[in-house]
Amino acid sequence: MRLLFVLGALLVSCAPPTVATSLTPRQAPTPTLFITTSAPTTSTTTPAFRYVAIGASDTVGVGATDPATGAWPARLAARLPAGTDYVNLGVSGSLAAQAGHEQVPRAVALRPQLVTIWLAVNDLNASIGPAEYATALRSVMDPLVSGTSARIFVGSVPDLRTVPAYAGTDQAALLERITAYNAAIAAIAIGSPSRVTVVDLFTGSGPLVSAMTVSADGFHPSDAGYALIADRFAKAIAGAGIPLR
């Protein structure tokens, strides 16, 4: 596996949003994708280093030629130290509140040293307000902070205005909502500065969106897009002192 950084302009959902005056929720979640880079450990055995990814369809790798290796968490896992145990708990279509109920308990039980979270676009498309989204994101973050010793990296919302699937939306209103979501993410991270790092997927992301970085559905990242996302997460992780290959 390999790792690279993804343009922030690509998101989480199992289906692109409809282009109307408002965005619509994504389709119902698909089964959880569970991948490890080594033989599964028993409940009484913890590997030297375990990485758990929490998210929606972009975490699963929808849009990649081979999601198992092309999703941005898989690319990131390939850059972690040899022997790292990698578990992808992403569920296509997941909202943040759903992830808090479905993915987080499993993540805590796995006792990871590294957790990545990218959950926002499905909530944005479902017209969930920033305050409600912040509450949902806390349901994901707080148990991980209190129940594990992991370093946690949470991705912000990219500049979606240039993503083809959003071409018919009110661009000013979209930017306003993205900005509010990113402010909520930052505010939550400030509460645990030694444990939680925000990965900036917004800055400079708009110009990165192109036919090469967006998949054929006009919404999810392509292989090139996932490489860009993985790279940005990798830079943040390396900056926090976690060794990469």
pLDDT values of the chain reduced to their tens digit, one per residue, 245 residues: 333 333 333 333 444 454 333 443 333 334 344 444 443 343 445 568 999 999 999 999 999 999 999 999 999 999 999 999 999 999 999 999 999 999 999 999 999 999 999 999 999 999 999 999 999 999 999 999 999 999 999 999 999 998 888 888 999 999 999 999 999 999 999 999 999 999 999 999 888 777 778 888 888 998 999 999 999 999 999 999 999 99
Identify whether 131 is part of a domain: yes
Identify whether 218 is part of a domain: yes
Q: Which of 97, 91, 189 has the alpha carbon at shortest distance from 145?
A: 189
CATH number of the domain bearing residue 192: 3.40.50.1110
Identify whether 33 is part of a domain: no
Compute the distance between CA of residue 173 and CA of residue 188 in angstroms, rounded to an integer. 23
Identify whether 1 is part of a domain: no
Number of domains in the chain: 1
Q: Using alpha carbons only, give the angle 181, 219, 217 rounded to the nearest 5 degrees.
A: 165
pLDDT of residue 46: 59
pTM of the model: 0.83
Compute the distance between CA of residue 172 and CA of residue 21 in angstroms, rounded to an integer. 12
Identify whether 35 is part of a domain: no
pLDDT of residue 1: 38
Compute the distance between CA of residue 46 and CA of residue 26 in angstroms, rounded to an integer. 35
pLDDT of residue 50: 98
pLDDT of residue 208: 79
How many whole angstroms from its chain centre is CA 113? 17
State the residue range of the domain holding 89. Answer: 50-239
Compute the distance between CA of residue 119 and CA of residue 99 in angstroms, rounded to an integer. 8
Identify whether 54 is part of a domain: yes
Helix crossing, 171-190 with 130-147: angle to 10°? 30
Identify whether 19 is part of a domain: no
Identify whether 100 is part of a domain: yes
Sign of CA dihedral 155, 161, 167, 171: positive
